[in-house]
Amino acid sequence: MITRRNFLRNAMTGAAALSLPIAAFEIVDPKKLMAKEAESKSKVRWVFLVDTYKCTGCGFCVKACKLENEVPYDTNVTRTWVERYVTTKDGKSHADTPAVGGRDGFTHSTFDLGQGKTLDIKKEDIDKAFFVPKLCNQCENPPCVQVCPVGATYQTPDGVVLVDRSWCIGCGYCIMGCPYGVRFFHPVHHTAEKCNFCYHRITKGLKTACVQACPFGARQIGNLRDPNDPVTKYIMTERVGVLKEEYGTKPQAFYIGLDREVK
Amino acid sequence: MKNHVLRPLFAFLGIVAIILLARMVLVPKDFGAYDRGYMYSWHRLGNEEDWKKIKVKYQGAEYCKDCHEKNYSSIKKSPHQNIQCENCHGPANTVNGDHYSDTLPKLAIDRSRAQCLRCHFPLPYPSSGRAKIKGIDPDKHNPDVECCMCHNPHMPNLEGLR
C-alpha cells in the first residue's frame, strides 16, 4: 500500500538518483587510457646535458635558478645545486656542497663534512677532483609522479615533470620517492617544489636560466626528438652517463665525465 | 524484505551519491589522464599554462646590447666574454619591476670579492675547468679592497688595470 510517507520518501530517493548524471560514475576506463598513452607523439622531449669537465663550480647557475624561479634566496633549499668530488691519493673519496647548494660558488679548498666538521685537502694529495651540477632528471618513468595520491604532479607531453601548486596537499610522498633528492617543500607556497627546466622559458624558445648563466657551457638543454639538435647529436654519438640507472627511472639528464662515486 | 534490512543499503547508496556529486563539483573540468596515461599524466591541464605564465627574469646579454653597446662590446672582446651581464648586474626583470620600463629600477651590481672568487679562488682540480682559471689567494692578495678597485671586470687583462 502506498502511504504518504512512503511516497514522499521514494520520490526523494528517485529525484536524488536522477540528479546523478552518468558521467559521475565514470572513473577510469583502462582501455581508453592505454590508447591515449599510445597515441602520444609529442615533437619535443626536453633533455639536459651536463659536462662535468667544463664545470668550475662558480655557482652562477644556482644563483640564476633561485632568482628566476622565485625560490627564496637565503633559504636552504634550491632546485639545482653543485657537488664537489675529490679523491685523494689514499683512495678516499670526499664529496661536499657548500651552503645553499653552492649558490656562492666554491671559494674554499676546505671541505664541509657537516655537523661543524671540516677537512683540509692538500693540493699534493689530490688524485682527481671535479664538480657535478645536479638538477631534476625529468625521468621518463618518474617515481615522484607515481606516488602522488592527488594528481598534483605529472609529466607534460614534452617530458617535463611539473607540480600543480593549487592541487598539492603537501603529503611529501614525492619528496621521499625521488631517488635523486631534487624535491623539497617551497618555503612560501608550502607545496612540493622541483626543477622544471624553467618551463616558462623553454616553452618560449629561451634556454633555462642555469644554461644561460653558465659561462663555460657546462650545462646544455636540448630536444631529444630533434635529430639536428647539437645536444641530441652528442647524446646519440658520444659516451654519456646517467645517475642511478639501476632504479629504472630512465633519467633524462645526461652527464659527460661521470665517475662511480657520483650518485 | 523488511524495511530495516534495506535501510543500511539506502544509507550506503546515499553516501556514495554524495561523494560522487561532491567530486563533480570539486574536481576541475580539465582534470584527466592525458598523453602519458593515468600513471604519469593524471592532472589538471590548466596547470601547464599556469607554469608557462611565470615571468621571465633573466633576459641574456643580447637584451642589454642595444642600450649598453659600449659595455657589451668591451666585455665581448675580453676573457670574460662568456659571462652574462646579469651574472654580476642581477636579473633585468624582477617580481617587483622591469629594468626596461618607465620606472627603470637600478640594478644592484655585485662588486664583492666573493663574486670574483667564485672562479678565481684557486682550486687545482685536474679534469675540471677550474684548474685552468688563474686564481689568487684572497687572504694575501690585497684582502681589504674590492677587486674592481684595480681590475676592470669588462677588461680583466692586466693592461686593463685601473
**Stretch 120-159 of chain B: residues touching chain A, C-beta under 8 Å:** 121, 123-130, 133, 138
Same domain membership, residue A112 and residue A202: yes
* Confidence label for A133 from pLDDT (cuts 50, 70 and 90): very high
Q: How far is A168 from chain B (nearest CA, A)?
A: 11
Average pLDDT, chain A: 91
Same domain membership, residue A58 and residue A169: no
Domain that holds residue B46: 3-52
Query: Which tops the pLDDT comparison, A163 or A115?
Result: A163
Same domain membership, residue B151 and residue B77: yes
* Confidence label for B13 from pLDDT (cuts 50, 70 and 90): very high
B102 pLDDT above the threshold of 90: no
The mean pLDDT value for B39-51 works out to 94
Same domain membership, residue A76 and residue A167: no
Question: Which H/E stretch holds residue A98?
Answer: none
Residue whose grid cell is 593524471: B42
Average pLDDT, chain B: 90
End-to-end CA distance of chain B: 101
**Stretch 127-166 of chain A: residues touching chain B, C-beta under 8 Å:** 128-131, 141-142, 145-146, 151-157, 162, 164-166
Q: Lowest mean pLDDT of A2-6, A122-126, A236-240, B97-101, name the range.
A: B97-101
Residue whose grid cell is 593515468: B38
Same domain membership, residue B148 and residue B95: yes
Q: Does A17 touch chain B (CB under 8 A)?
A: yes
End-to-end CA distance of chain A: 76
Same domain membership, residue B130 and residue B108: yes
Is the four-CA dihedral A73, A75, A81, A87 of positive or negative sign? positive
Q: Lowest mean pLDDT of A136-150, A203-217, B148-162, name the range.
A: B148-162
> What pLDDT is recorded for position A254?
97
Domain count, chain A: 2
Same domain membership, residue A184 and residue A204: no
Taking the C-alpha atoms of residue A130 and residue A145, their distance in angstroms, rounded to an integer, is 32
Q: Could you tell me where the beta strands, DSSP code E, fall in chain A?
A: 46-51, 81-88, 93-96, 110-114, 117-120, 126-134, 153-155, 161-163, 184-185, 192-193, 219-223, 253-256
Same domain membership, residue A60 and residue A152: no
A175 pLDDT above the threshold of 90: yes
B104 pLDDT above the threshold of 80: no
B14 pLDDT above the threshold of 90: yes
State the CATH number of the domain containing residue A164. Answer: 3.30.70.20
The mean pLDDT value for B59-79 works out to 93
Last residue of a domain, one of B52, B72, B87: B52
Domain that holds residue A162: 146-193
**A131 DSSP assignment:** E
B130 pLDDT above the threshold of 70: yes
A18 pLDDT above the threshold of 70: yes
Same domain membership, residue A188 and residue A122: no
> What pLDDT is recorded for position A152?
96
Same domain membership, residue A108 and residue A50: yes
> What pLDDT is recorded for position A149?
95
Same domain membership, residue A129 and residue A212: yes
Same domain membership, residue A205 and residue A95: yes
Same domain membership, residue A71 and residue A150: no
